[in-house]
Amino acid sequence: MNTELVQILYSTEELRSWKIKHIAEIYHKGLKEFKRITADERYILDSKVEAYVEKLTERWNIVSTKQKLLSTKEANILEAEIRTKDAVNNLKRIENLLKYTLNINDAVDWEQIKDNSEFKKPHPKHELKAQLAKVKAPDEPIYQTNFPRIPIVESFSPQLTFLDNLFKSRKEKKIQKANELFEAAMVQRNIEYQRISEKNEALKRDYQRALNAYNSKVETLKNEFSKKTIEWEKEKDVFYEIQSLKNSKVDILKENYFKADEEAIHEYCELVLNNSQYPDEFPKSFELDYNGENKILIVEYTLPSIENLPTLSEVKFLRNELKEYFISETQLLKMFDVTMYNITLRTLHELFEADVIGAIEAISFNGWVNAINKATGKVENNCILSIQAKKSEFQQIDLSLVDPKACFKNLKGVGSSKLSGLTAVQPIMQINRSDKRFIHHYDVAGSIDDSTNLAAMDWEDFEHLIREIFSKEFNSNGGEVKVTQASKDGGVDAIAFDPDPIRGGKIVIQAKRYTNTVGVSAVRDLYGTVMNEGATKGILVTTADYGPDAYDFVKGKPLTLMNGANLLYLLEKHGHKAKIDIKEAKKLLK
């Protein structure tokens, strides 16, 4: 990783559930791109960061290469061809968003998500070899071996003549002279021998010193790298220990998932959506909530804004410049709508297909777009489409042949006729971030406090609480709520009169102080009451939740289902806080 180009800031965030969310904020200086990646586990975050940085590096390499090529005409022509090819591929990729996933098995491959990488840090022995190669051993000296020979006495014998032999004194002089020359030669030989011997000895001493220094340096390096090898072994052991821990967590998650543990199912679904490949420009952000009791998965999905879609269709090199051509505004708006439907259907398909244990009976998908409202100039986050689909119904659809919008509408999806208008719609079912039933108590005022468990409170108190809260809701618009005679089954009927000329009228309100999932029969009863009363709408409120059949029944009917989370939100909206603890209520109501 080029740390000069890529900066990563790690942090953590404590959630309301006391869980820790691990966060990585990544910025690429060259591409000028910023992304925030989150995960429940650090090893999952590291895997996401590594994959994303790898993509950034690939893209930067392409950008860098292109920048170098732009210096010549040929490079510009090649640039135009490359960019045109990329533009066509980008548009085709958006067009095939739904079809792309149909050829992929979306179930989690447990072995594939394990970390089976090798310890990549090279063994110090390789570095030692390189370092030793830099330390040059001294060359053994070349000693002088041509020592002078000892003079031969005979070679100095005088050449005596007749006269020398005749005259004794003359002969002795020549012999003496010869002896002197021999002795002088011997002295000279000994001097030369001594000189050569001393020179060889000096060479030997210098070589020994250099050899000792070399051996000392080699020994020092070996000692240093011996220590480094010990540290390397420790790092390797830690690496594989952490890797084993990560992989054991995957095994535990797999085991818990097949046991239908709610948290494991939630995390499994996150893995499925995280594995789904989308263009880098698309926001990969979503929130999930799974209810094991009714087997409904709620998906709050951040859809790409229109600015995230590719618009470039072709690039030409004309008159010494690169000229860009874009799709029309009409094509862009059509592409946006189709893309929203495709992402919605694709997400439903991926989650249903990956549900190998049958944990999900229905999915409620809400698509949110964070974009600038051109009327106000302010950034708004609106839910522009909402759909709830049953698995059994959805899997009968051949997604390779459907028209995305027609399929969405056929599944009773809610959204404006033109999604590009970013018109907000009411989610069919939503994750209520104020829901603290199982975690935190609320601060309260009035007759209820943070220990009040709505699911276990006295049925008469519950009756007046429902009347009071709906009175506040409708009174703000000039409406009125009247309570009818209550029954002792823990429910209460009320009639609201909304004066609004468009959406108002007579509204029937029924409440179920339940600790179990409300079945479709209660919803049918409400619908019958609405018809009998001639009301314009019916509202069913419960402290628990509803089954998939109940949500399916209300599609296309003037009925609204409010679960415990919705009720807590409504209380909070009007200044009252409470809790709903189903487990506690079941114990108290035995």
- What's the average model confidence in pLDDT over 503-530? 85
Handedness of CA 560, 353, 405, 270 (dihedral sign): positive
Percentage above 70 pLDDT, the chain: 92
Structure tokens belonging to residue 571: 């209380």
What would the pLDDT profile of 498-509 be if each residue is shown by its tens digit?
776 666 778 888
> pLDDT category, 444, cuts 50, 70, 90?
very low
Domains in the chain (CATH in brackets) are 70-106+276-421 (no CATH), 124-253 (no CATH), 459-588 (3.40.1350.10)
pLDDT of residue 442 exceeding 60: no
What residues are paired with 312 via a beta bridge?
326
What residues are paired with 9 via a beta bridge?
25
Q: Which amino acid is at 506?
A: K
What would the pLDDT profile of 229-262 be if each residue is shown by its tens digit?
999 998 888 888 888 888 998 999 999 999 999 9
Listed in sequence order, the DSSP H helices in 494-563 are 520-533, 548-553
What would the pLDDT profile of 133-154 be if each residue is shown by its tens digit?
888 889 999 998 888 888 888 8
**How confident is the model at residue 74, as a pLDDT?**
79
**How confident is the model at residue 404, as a pLDDT?**
95
pLDDT of residue 281 exceeding 50: yes
Do the Cβ atoms of 463 and 492 come closer than 8 Å? yes
Say how far apart CA 499 and CA 474 lie, in whole Å. 9
> pLDDT category, 446, cuts 50, 70, 90?
low
Pairing assessment for the beta strands 321-326 and 312-318 based on DSSP bridges? antiparallel
pLDDT of residue 367 exceeding 60: yes
Say how far apart CA 199 and CA 195 lie, in whole Å. 6
Q: Report the first-to-last Cα separation within the chain, whole angstroms.
A: 61
pLDDT of residue 440 exceeding 80: no
**How confident is the model at residue 338, as a pLDDT?**
96
What would the pLDDT profile of 203-235 be if each residue is shown by its tens digit?
999 999 999 998 999 899 889 889 989 999 988
Say how far apart CA 507 and CA 497 lie, in whole Å. 6
- What's the average model confidence in pLDDT over 255-274? 93
pLDDT of residue 521 exceeding 90: no
The pTM for the full model equals 0.56
- What's the average model confidence in pLDDT over 390-409? 94
**How confident is the model at residue 436, as a pLDDT?**
35
pLDDT of residue 373 exceeding 60: yes
Query: In the β-sheet with 296-303, what is the strand arrangement from edge to edge?
Result: 286-291, 296-303, 362-373, 378-390, 414-415
> pLDDT category, 496, cuts 50, 70, 90?
confident
What would the pLDDT profile of 525-534 be if each residue is shown by its tens digit?
888 888 777 7
Say how far apart CA 47 and CA 41 lie, in whole Å. 10
pLDDT of residue 487 exceeding 70: no
Identify which of 75, 111, 18, 146 has the alpha carbon closest to the alpha carbon of residue 439. Answer: 18
pLDDT of residue 170 exceeding 90: no
pLDDT of residue 557 exceeding 90: no
Higher-confidence position of 279 and 166:
279
> pLDDT category, 483, cuts 50, 70, 90?
low
Calculate the average pLDDT of the chain: 85
**How confident is the model at residue 349, as a pLDDT?**
97
Percentage above 90 pLDDT, the chain: 35
What would the pLDDT profile of 18-35 be if each residue is shown by its tens digit?
667 889 999 988 888 888
pLDDT of residue 445 exceeding 60: no
